[in-house]
Amino acid sequence: MNAKTGFVTQVGMEYEEAFEVAGDLGFDYVELMMDGANERTRVDPDAMRARAEECGLSLAVHLPFALDIGSPFEHVREGAVREVQAAIETARSFGAMKGVVHASSKAWRPAYDEEEIQENIVQSVTTLDEFADERGFELCVENIPDGWISTHEFDRLFAETDASMTLDTGHARIDGLDSDGIAAFVGRHGDRISHFHLNDTRGPSDEHLPFGAGTLDFRAIFEALPDDWEGTLSLEVFTLDYGYIETSKAYLDELL
């Protein structure tokens, strides 16, 4: 395995400091959360690109969280897709080559059929993946727990789209997969999983603990990947304390 490592920025992290810390700790990239202060209309792409280059980093992005690409309402869904497309273009302008999008919808469950919402998500992912591919950008669709397309339904996205997957390990845990189950999933789909959110947890919850502080067996998960796997591994730790990022990277480096 020849993976690159990075971490996901959190709300409250200034990107300039995050990039400096990442460079000092020897990360390959930072995954920039494109919400809040880093929403596409609030960033200076030239300054961001220059700062990343100064710190010796590549960039990935987490595209905006709350956009409903599976909405049953046509104008909401189309607007969400256009906004994700605009975010992709901004991400490319500051040098990012890969971005995470949620395969989800906020549709009211009692009122809508699962097949209808899943089809909307599949169609939106297809549109976004084609748009991204034309711009040399890789779209990586994340598993959202208890969602319209959970970890268990990703076979449909694999079959009906060409998009890559972001496997969030904590989200898979919420969807009922333990370490062995996640490793088995990786063993079946490692060729389509391009990106990980390394979300450690002590149980089926979205804890986002420092890497190694939970109970997930990441060694088994990594060993299930193809020998020639060359994807990206993002530590996703809910903290503003870079000390926890440093400790997480030390453990990740040890496993790798």
Whole-angstrom distance, CA of residue 30 vs CA of residue 19: 7
Give the model's pLDDT for residue 146.
84
| Domains held by the chain: number | 1
Work out the average pLDDT over 183-204. 97
Whole-angstrom distance, CA of residue 114 vs CA of residue 122: 12
Give the model's pLDDT for residue 192.
98
Please, which pLDDT band fits residue 161 given cuts at 50, 70 and 90?
A: very high
Question: Closest by alpha carbon to 241, among 59, 17, 56?
Answer: 17
What are 114-121's contacts with CB under 8 Å, separation 24+? Answer: 114/148, 116/72, 117/70, 117/72, 117/148, 118/70, 118/148, 118/149, 118/153, 118/156, 120/69, 120/70, 120/71, 120/72, 120/77, 121/69, 121/70, 121/148, 121/149, 121/157
Q: Compute the residue count for the chain.
A: 256
Q: Does residue 207 register a pLDDT over 90?
A: yes
Whole-angstrom distance, CA of residue 77 vs CA of residue 66: 12
Question: Closest by alpha carbon to 60, among 35, 97, 23?
Answer: 97
Beta-ladder partners of 7: 30, 235
Q: Does residue 245 register a pLDDT over 90?
A: yes
Quick: pLDDT tens for 30-63.
999 999 999 999 999 999 999 999 999 999 999 9
Whole-angstrom distance, CA of residue 10 vs CA of residue 237: 8
Give the model's pLDDT for residue 1.
87
Cβ-contact 205, 174 below 8 angstroms: yes
Q: Does residue 147 register a pLDDT over 90?
A: no
Give the model's pLDDT for residue 52.
98
Whole-angstrom distance, CA of residue 100 vs CA of residue 63: 6
Work out the average pLDDT over 231-251. 98
Q: What is the CATH number of the domain that holds 155?
A: 3.20.20.150
Q: Does residue 137 register a pLDDT over 90?
A: yes
Full domain range(s) for residue 180 = 4-255
Mean pLDDT rounded to a whole number for the chain: 97
CB atoms within 10 A of CB 148: 21
Quick: pLDDT tens for 67-122.
999 999 999 999 999 999 999 999 999 999 999 999 999 999 999 999 999 999 99
CA angle 190, 181, 252 (to 5 degrees): 65
Give the model's pLDDT for residue 199.
96
Q: Does residue 154 register a pLDDT over 90?
A: yes
Single pTM value for the model? 0.97
The token pair that represents 231 in the structure block: 């994807």
The token pair that represents 129 in the structure block: 């993946």
